[in-house]
Amino acid sequence: MQSTPFRTPSPRVAVIGAGAMALALAAGLAGGDPPLRIGAVLARRPPAAPAFDGMAVCADAAGLLAWGPDLVVECAGHGAMRDLVPACLAAGVDCIIASVGALAEPAVLADVRAAAERGRARLVVPAGALGGLDALAAARLAGLTAVTYRGSKPPAAWKGTPAEEACDLDALERPAIVFEGSAAEAAARFPRNANVTAALALAGLGPEATRVTLVADPGLVANTHRIEAEGAFGRFVFETENRALPDNPRTSLLAALSLQHAVLNHVAPLIP
Ligand SMILES: NC(=O)C1=CN([C@@H]2O[C@H](COP(=O)(O)OP(=O)(O)OC[C@H]3O[C@@H](n4cnc5c(N)ncnc54)[C@H](OP(=O)(O)O)[C@@H]3O)[C@@H](O)[C@H]2O)C=CC1
Ligand SMILES: O=C([O-])CC(=O)C(=O)O
């Protein structure tokens, strides 16, 4: 038998969603060393991009589970996370999710947790477009006193969101605050831009106590995320300036790479 670099000879990985992030994930894994091909995609219509060629296309959770995945990666949106991920977990399939913001709603978090317990499966919450969550989660063990987040993106990334009520995105000449409040509210009001605030909240002080500022900045090219955390451990600041994916200006390349790393972490015996 040929040796495999993975824990199982042929990991059966499926993806939910066929947008910018799924495309980057599929291409990134297939182009890796060693390559890993995603075998199935759950999509509402057959995906056209060549990165999805050869994948089984499933229409719903039952179809996806019938394909027999070892691991499902959600990169579709809050609705898909809420409606499809619990069924996968309850069936014993580990899941990695991009749409972490859905977990800021306590009922969804409870539902997902119960499904994972029922199926003895694992839900992996990656850092996505952020960094520093390993340090934050460790620091939490000794007690945190404050966690704040400031997320700044170019105006185009805020199109079609409540930011349009806060300012005229097309006429901005200087940075404008488009939201200030809790991570819970940010994740709910900006489901395609503020998933990172829910991941931050889960790792740190929770969705109500994590303070969030969102900014539309016409001077920016990158999506910028800044975390400041304080507690018994001391203090840290983490900032990242992320390039956006070519197919979606809201979504950072780092978010897709974070999913790719989480998949490799799941299937490989050792990964730094
Ligand atoms: N954690 C993080 O750091 C980040 C998380 N995200 C999350 O990842 C999600 C995906 O991002 P991105 O790929 O850039 O978004 P896109 O809008 O480019 O793609 C979303 C894809 O998901 C599909 N989709 C939506 N709902 C469903 C469903 N119920 N069943 C099947 N397919 C569905 C869409 O299909 P259709 O064409 O049919 O609508 C589309 O193909 C975002 O919505 C956001 O929640 C995004 C950025 C960062
Ligand atoms: O990709 C990013 O920069 C962050 C993002 O959209 C999200 O958290 O939803």
Prediction ipTM score: 0.98
> Is residue 272 situated within a structural domain?
no
Cα 251 to middle of ligand 2, angstroms: 5
Q: Is 266 a catalytic residue?
A: no
List residues near ligand 1 (CB under 6 A): 16-22, 42-45, 75-80, 98-100, 128-129, 191-192, 195-196, 199, 247-248, 251, 255
Residue of 133, 123, 69, 64 lying closest to 96 (CA atoms): 123
> Is residue 91 situated within a structural domain?
yes
Residue count of the chain: 272
100 and 141 co-located in one domain: no
pLDDT mean across residues, the chain = 96
pLDDT of residue 1: 46
> Is residue 36 situated within a structural domain?
yes
Q: Residue 14 phi/psi, 5° resolution?
A: -125, 155
> Is residue 71 situated within a structural domain?
yes
Residue of 118, 54, 61, 82 lying closest to 191 (CA atoms): 82
Tens of pLDDT, residue by residue over 81-92, are: 999 999 999 999
Q: What DSSP character marks residue 44? A: S
Whether the link from the prior residue into 34 is cis, omega within 30° of 0, is yes
**How many domains does the chain divide into?**
2
Q: What domain range includes position 176?
A: 133-251
**Is the confidence at residue 43, as pLDDT, over 90?**
yes
Q: What DSSP character marks residue 34? A: S
Concatenated DSSP letters for 238-262? Answer: EEEEEPEETTEEEEEHHHHHHHHHH
> Is residue 235 situated within a structural domain?
yes
> Is residue 115 situated within a structural domain?
yes
85 and 36 co-located in one domain: yes
199 and 162 co-located in one domain: yes
Amino acid, res. 244:
A
* Mean pLDDT of the 41-46 span: 96
What confidence tier does 3 reach under pLDDT thresholds 50, 70, 90? low
31 and 115 co-located in one domain: yes
The percentage of residues in the chain with a pLDDT greater than 70, rounded to a whole number, is: 99
Tens of pLDDT, residue by residue over 100-156, are: 999 999 999 999 999 999 999 999 999 999 999 999 999 999 999 999 999 999 999
